[in-house]
Amino acid sequence: ACGPKETAPAPAPEAKAFAAVDTARIETASAGAEWLTYGGTYDEQRHSSLDAVNKDNVDQLGVAWTFDLATNRGVEVTPVVVDGVMFVTSAWSVVYALDAKTGEMLWEHDPDVDRAVGVNACCDVVNRGVAVYDGKIYVGIIDGRLQALDAKTGDLVWETVTVDQSKPYTITGAPRVVNGKVLIGNGGAELGVRGYLSAYDAETGDRVWRFYTVPNPQKQPDGEVSDTAFEQIGNATWGDEGAWVTDGGGGTVWDSIVYDEVNDQIIFGVGNGSPWNRTFRDPSAGDNLFLSSIVAVDANTGEYKWHFQTTPGDNWDYTATQTIILADLPLGEGGAPRRVAMQAPKNGFFYVIDAATGEFISGDAFVPLNWATGLDENGRPIEVPEARYGKVPYNQLPGPLGAHNWHPMAFNPDLNLAYIPAQEIPQAYAEDPRFFTKEIKWNTGADFSAGVPTVATPEVAKFLRSTLKGRLIAWDPVAREPRWTVEHGNAWNGGVLSTAGGLVFQGKLNGDFVAYDAATGDKLWSRNVKSGAGAGPGTYMIDGEQYVTIATGWGSAFALSAGFAYDEKVPSTVGKIVTFKLGGTGEIPDADLPAIDRTPKAEPFGTEAQLAEGVVDYARNCAVCHGPLAVSSGVLPDLRWSAISANPDSWKGVVLEGHYSANGMVSFADYLSEDDVEAIRAYVLAQAHAAAAADDSGE
Ligand SMILES: O=C(O)c1cc(C(=O)O)c2c(n1)C(=O)C(=O)c1cc(C(=O)O)[nH]c1-2
Ligand SMILES: [Ca+2]
């Protein structure tokens, strides 16, 4: 096991040529011995040509080394490996350079993020990784900065602020670098921002172009490359009024960005609307381009080329930011190869579109869903009217966590199979009758308190958990059906790696890291990595040995907002890089975390009316971070066991006076009264006593 060392760092190999990566090298050398860009190659298939580890010997995989990422927050990084060095990120956008053979740390770079910005991060302070180019490492910082670091030393070369930091923007996604330009988007559409993709000069950090995904609030030109697209097609899909005008409209580019070298274009995925509920966002009920769309722009100028909107008039957080994979499929005339883009976005349909034109080729449901009955010949969803929820809740599949989230999908070009980390997480959506825009808070216009019981026993949590499902689907995009499916016991399983060894690797929510037969789905090997295993695995080769690696850690959107899904067997451990090789004999160290005293800290109190108010206020203000039903999965404090719940003044000090705002727990004084806050305390304590009573009865 390796942690930060006191000894001098080992010299990085080949000082002069180190990390001399350019577009040609990424095009030719990726996803073989090295892993040079987030998705393995520019096509982002996450398919490695390595086959030293294969079906016949995968059962001999053992731990080569581990590295401690020094965080108990979510970890989502896919390691980039170049010239024998692995570059990874941890929570709070900290970057590490490791010797990829031994795990020894070469350098660490901490951007010193003010922890108070944690409140802007809808889905944990995660980071999915770096880009490497011409001797530099590029990383997006959770507070909206973009940094270039010297690949050899970790020293800062340049940094630039990519967002208006007075707004709740974040960056969680990995930059990509193409022909000397660094591409980076941002997040924040749950709280209320206006999304865009920017290109920066890799050498200087100067901004080259910016493509907004939502019109300027006055529908006036921004002086950016997206202006023409809005004048010609975008503006007409938005009304002149509604919350979008002040809240930014959403459309964040928070994950997928791919370079299509054949058509010399950037294809990126656009997120949901701000607020989610279109009735509030845009009462004119337009399609709201380019929300929930796949958009292609010229790789050099950023000029609009085409778009395909997966969810017109998004109403549900149905982002189209999920993995975009480019491939040649036998879909041309007479089975000739046709270059396509594939995506399995949150909305539950698997899309195949023409990469050159954006033309819709096919789209099919890959999970059970009840918001649409299918797609028309242009790929437009045929909606179920009730799904445009009003005051009556509609229990919907998929919910806002999606039929597929950020967990990277992979594609095996020999078998023509896409491996989707799919899930079923339903959600009852209803219109929020009290909606108004709150500064630096969630602003969805949807109400999640509908139907929540005033006091829920652990049985309720268990029941809810049993409604969640996850599966690994080997989807055949030509036959438009699954070739095989593995059922997982729970939702929110990990990203996928495909290899020429005939293997598919995927981590599971319970920490099992599994290798399946790529052709059949048979399980060939598994090892528990003692933490969440959601990140995209990677592979590389050094000195004739193939390594398989995965970043682990407990956190992310699901751990924050779906606490009941935590089955208490999943340890909320410290994040690590865990790297395997054939014959490896290493161990994965246990985390040494203080035990939580799971007892209520005060007597229950509160009238029925007070508890009823507490349920609603909790569900609307607290649940997205501390978990529904006041059950946290351990990333942020479980309020039921909080010492602060013992005393009304300490409780008010945190919730109204912001005593913990430096940690990201800001004051809610603008939106909650003293009575509301005391009602929340009554509700939280009632939940604590219900859970403790169930424990006593031997549950
Ligand atoms: O709309 C946005 O701007 C935005 C950003 C992010 C993010 O940057 O992590 C997520 C989401 N949305 C989102 O909807 C979502 O389900 C999600 C899950 C995660 C995660 O890292 O676990 N991030 C995000
Ligand atoms: Ca979102």
Q: Where residue 15 falls among pLDDT bands split at 50, 70, 90?
A: very low
Q: Where residue 695 falls among pLDDT bands split at 50, 70, 90?
A: confident
Per-residue pLDDT reduced to its tens digit, 128-155: 999 999 999 999 999 999 999 999 999 9
pLDDT reported for residue 440: 87
pLDDT beyond 70 at 370: yes
pLDDT reported for residue 204: 98
pLDDT beyond 70 at 9: no
Q: Alpha carbon of 293 to those of 106, 182, 370, 636: distances in Å?
A: 40, 21, 21, 32
Per-residue pLDDT reduced to its tens digit, 236-276: 999 999 999 999 999 999 999 999 999 999 999 999 999 99
Instruction: Please tell me whether 123 is known to bind a ligand.
Output: no
**How far is ligand 2, taken at its centre, from the CA of residue 272, in Å?**
5
pLDDT reported for residue 563: 75
pLDDT reported for residue 5: 41
Residues with CB under 6 A from ligand 1: 76, 122-124, 126, 170, 172, 187-190, 252, 254, 271-272, 317, 319, 401, 405-406, 556-557
Q: Where residue 6 falls among pLDDT bands split at 50, 70, 90?
A: very low
Q: Which atom of ligand 1 is nearest to the CA of 172?
A: 8
Task: Report how far Cα 153 is from the mean position of its chain's Cα atoms.
Answer: 29
Q: Alpha carbon of 601 to those of 621, 631, 658: distances in Å?
A: 22, 15, 21
- Tell me which of 561 and 48 has the higher pLDDT: 48
pLDDT beyond 90 at 564: no
Report DSSP state, residue 240: S
Is the ipTM, as predicted for this complex, more than 0.95?
Answer: yes
Can you tell me the mean pLDDT for 674-680? 97
Among 124, 197, 272, 406, the mutation site with the greatest number of ligand 1 atoms within 8 A of its Cβ is 406
Q: Alpha carbon of 253 to those of 272, 396, 534, 570: distances in Å?
A: 9, 25, 20, 31
Residues written for the chain: 699
Among 117, 254, 347, the mutation site with the greatest number of ligand 1 atoms within 8 A of its Cβ is 254
Structure-token pair, residue 84? 């024998």
Packing angle between helix 608-621 and helix 674-696, nearest 10 degrees?
Answer: 100
pLDDT reported for residue 458: 79
Q: Kindly report the protein residue whose alpha carbon is nearest to atom 18 of ligand 1.
A: 557
> What are the DSSP E strand ranges found in 233-369?
257-260, 265-269, 293-298, 304-309, 324-329, 338-343, 349-354, 360-365
**How far is ligand 2, taken at its centre, from the CA of residue 133, in Å?**
29
Secondary-structure breakdown of the chain: helix, strand, coil percentages, each rounded to the nearest 5: 20, 30, 55
Q: Kindly report the protein residue whose alpha carbon is nearest to atom 21 of ligand 1.
A: 556
pLDDT beyond 60 at 402: yes
pLDDT reported for residue 397: 97
Ligand with an atom nearest the CA of residue 256: 1
Q: How far apart, in whole angstroms, are the C-alpha atoms of residue 614 and residue 235?
A: 41
Can you tell me the mean pLDDT for 352-360? 98
Residues of the chain with pLDDT > 90, as a percent, come to: 85
Q: Alpha carbon of 176 to those of 138, 325, 550, 646: distances in Å?
A: 8, 14, 20, 48
Per-residue pLDDT reduced to its tens digit, 46-93: 999 999 999 999 999 999 999 999 998 999 999 999 999 999 999 999
Given 227, 255, 287, 317, the catalytic residue: 317
Least confident of 168-172, 458-462, 472-476: 458-462
- Tell me which of 38 and 3 has the higher pLDDT: 38
DSSP letters, 116-144, are: GGGGG-TT-S-----EEETTEEEEE-TTS
- Tell me which of 513 and 691 has the higher pLDDT: 513
The answer to whether the CB of 111 falls within 8 A of the CB of 141 is yes
**How far is ligand 2, taken at its centre, from the CA of residue 271, in Å?**
6
Burial tier of 207 (Cβ tally within 10 Å: 0-12, 13-18, 19+): middle
Can you tell me the mean pLDDT for 317-331? 98
Instruction: Please tell me whether 128 is known to bind a ligand.
Output: yes
Instruction: Please tell me whether 172 is known to bind a ligand.
Output: yes
Q: What is the mean pLDDT of the chain?
A: 94
pLDDT reported for residue 410: 98
Q: Kindly report the protein residue whose alpha carbon is nearest to atom 5 of ligand 1.
A: 187
pLDDT reported for residue 572: 55
Per-residue pLDDT reduced to its tens digit, 512-521: 999 999 999 9
The candidate with the shortest Cα–Cα distance to 305, out of 277, 264, 250, is: 264
Can you tell me the mean pLDDT for 212-236? 98
Per-residue pLDDT reduced to its tens digit, 491-535: 999 999 999 999 999 999 889 999 999 999 999 999 999 999 999
Can you tell me the mean pLDDT for 112-125? 95
Q: How far apart, in whole angstroms, are the C-alpha atoms of residue 602 and residue 689?
A: 9
- Tell me which of 599 and 8 has the higher pLDDT: 599
The answer to whether the CB of 310 falls within 8 A of the CB of 292 is yes
The answer to whether the CB of 650 falls within 8 A of the CB of 105 is no
Q: How far apart, in whole angstroms, are the C-alpha atoms of residue 492 and residue 506?
A: 11
End-to-end CA distance of the chain: 37
pLDDT beyond 90 at 7: no
| Three-class secondary structure of residue 519 per DSSP | coil
288: β partners: none
Instruction: Please tell me whether 406 is known to bind a ligand.
Output: yes
pLDDT reported for residue 567: 59
Query: Positive or negative, the Cα torsion across 301, 304, 310, 311?
Result: positive
pLDDT beyond 70 at 13: no
**How far is ligand 2, taken at its centre, from the CA of residue 586, in Å?**
39
pLDDT reported for residue 562: 84
67: β partners: 2, 577
Q: Which atom of ligand 1 is nearest to the CA of 274?
A: 1
Among 73, 123, 163, the mutation site with the greatest number of ligand 1 atoms within 8 A of its Cβ is 123
The answer to whether the CB of 484 falls within 8 A of the CB of 518 is no
DSSP letters, 458-493, are: HHHHHHHHHT-EEEEEEEETTTTEEEEEEEESSS--
Ligand with an atom nearest the CA of residue 322: 1
Burial tier of 49 (Cβ tally within 10 Å: 0-12, 13-18, 19+): middle
Instruction: Please tell me whether 76 is known to bind a ligand.
Output: yes
The answer to whether the CB of 94 falls within 8 A of the CB of 68 is no
- Is 124 an active-site residue? no
Q: Which atom of ligand 1 is nearest to the CA of 254?
A: 8
Q: How far apart, in whole angstroms, are the C-alpha atoms of residue 310 and residue 358?
A: 12
pTM: 0.95
